[in-house]
Amino acid sequence: MWKTLLCVGAGSFVGGMARYGLTRWVSAGNFTHLPLGTMVVNVAGCLFIGLLYGWFERADVLSPEWRLFLTVGFCGGFTTFSTFVHENYILILSDKFWSFAAYAVLSFALGLLAVWFGHFLVRVF
């Protein structure tokens, strides 16, 4: 269990640093009308997690610890959006359209509501 936690934690650490660095680098441009850094990170994370899971399906490569380091750790630390999109992709591939629709819409709507509520709580209290 500790080995698994350390693999995920180390991957998250590296992924978080990579997210920060890439976001800062992209945001250093003159793009003020979009949070372009975050969008680039999210799309890059989706590409990377797709490449990883595709590679893992195609070949028996890397130990379970390395797989966790790269997917749950690095990709999770880089952007949880990549995991969210991959889970939606799996639901679509599994012909679970209604589950996909519910998961996608509810995740976005409830997330937006939670952010609003957090701001509201801080203003009120």
What the block records as the tokens of 107 is 């995740």
Could you give the CA distance from residue 114 to residue 55 in angstroms, rounded to a whole number?
35
Q: What percent of the chain has pLDDT over 70?
A: 98
Tell me: the pLDDT tens digits for 44-53? 999 999 999 9
Indicate the pTM of the whole model.
Answer: 0.82
**Binding-site residue set for Na(+):** 76, 79
Count of alpha carbons within 13 angstroms of residue 83, beta-carbon side: 13
Instruction: Please check the confidence at residue 30 and state whether its pLDDT lies above 70.
Output: no
Instruction: Please check the confidence at residue 74 and state whether its pLDDT lies above 90.
Output: yes
**Binding-site residue set:** 76, 79
